[in-house]
Amino acid sequence: MALKKEHDLHKRRFGRNMGVGLLLGSFVVLVLALTMVKVTSNGFQFPQTQGAQD
């Protein structure tokens, strides 16, 4: 039995889904910001690749 587009389940779980969505979105933004800070810091170095070692 397929769920209708506006099934009661969707209404009841809207708040929960919205919360999870916002959390995941915030996490992505946070990881992006953290990465930007790390790679622009003075002590940052790219790890040595195999080609560079040769």
Minimum distance, C-beta of residue 50 to another protein, in the bound complex (Å): 24
End-to-end CA distance of the chain: 61
Shortest gap between Cβ of 12 and another protein (angstroms)?
A: 6
Structure letter (DSSP) for residue 3: P
Q: Which is nearer to another protein, 4 or 50 (CB)?
A: 4
Which token pair is 53?
């070692």
Choice between 4 and 48, CB closer to another protein? 4
Shortest reach from residue 51's CB to another protein, in Å = 26
